[in-house]
Amino acid sequence: MEELFFDVLTGAWKTRLLIASVKNGPLPPRIQKALDRIYPQEIKAPHMARQMERMAEHWKGLPDKREVPHGTEEDYRIYMEAQEEKAGFSLNTFLELVDLAGVRRLLDVGGGTAPYLRGIQKKFPDIAATYMDIESAAALAREKGLQGEIIAGDFRDLPWGENFDFILISQVIHMYGDDSVRLFFNKAAGALTEKGRLAIIEHFVDPWDDPYNFLFDINMFLGTDGGKCRTRQEVLDLAPENFAPEREYMIDKRTGVLELRLVF
Ligand X SMILES: C[S@@+](CC[C@H](N)C(=O)[O-])C[C@H]1O[C@@H](n2cnc3c(N)ncnc32)[C@H](O)[C@@H]1O
Among the listed residues 15, 171, 186, 193, the single contact to ligand X using CB under 6 A: 171
Q: How far is the CB of 135 from ligand X (least distance, A)?
A: 9
The interface mask with ligand X, positions 174-193, x = CB under 6 A, is -x------------------
Q: Mark the segment that binds ligand X (CB under 6 A) among 10-18, 20-28, 150-158, 244-252.
A: 150-158
Q: How far is the CB of 16 from ligand X (least distance, A)?
A: 21
**Chosen residue from 131, 155, 160, 166 binding ligand X by CB under 6 A:** 155
* Count of residues engaged in binding ligand X, rule: CB under 6 A: 19
Among the residue ranges 54-62, 65-73, 221-229, 244-252, the one whose residues contact ligand X (CB under 6 A) = 65-73
Handedness of CA 102, 107, 108, 114 (dihedral sign): positive
Pairwise CA distance, residues 248 & 259, whole Å: 6
Single out the residue of 83, 121, 130, 255 in contact with ligand X (rule: CB under 6 A): 83
Judged by CB under 6 A, the residue of 27, 31, 49, 87 near ligand X is 87
Nearest to 68 by CA among 155, 186, 178: 155
Distance CA 257, CA 237 (A): 16
The least distance separating ligand X from the CB of residue 110, rounded to whole angstroms, comes to 3
Q: Which is nearer to ligand X, 27 or 218 (CB)?
A: 218
Give min distance, CB of 105 to ligand X, in A.
18
Distance of alpha carbon 187 from alpha carbon 137, whole angstroms: 21
CA distance 216 to 71: 20
**Of 49 and 109, which has the nearer Cβ to ligand X?**
109
Q: Rule CB under 6 A: is residue 219 a binding residue for ligand X?
A: no
Query: Residues in the site for ligand X, rule: CB under 6 A?
Result: 67-69, 83, 87, 110-112, 115, 133-134, 137, 154-156, 170-172, 175
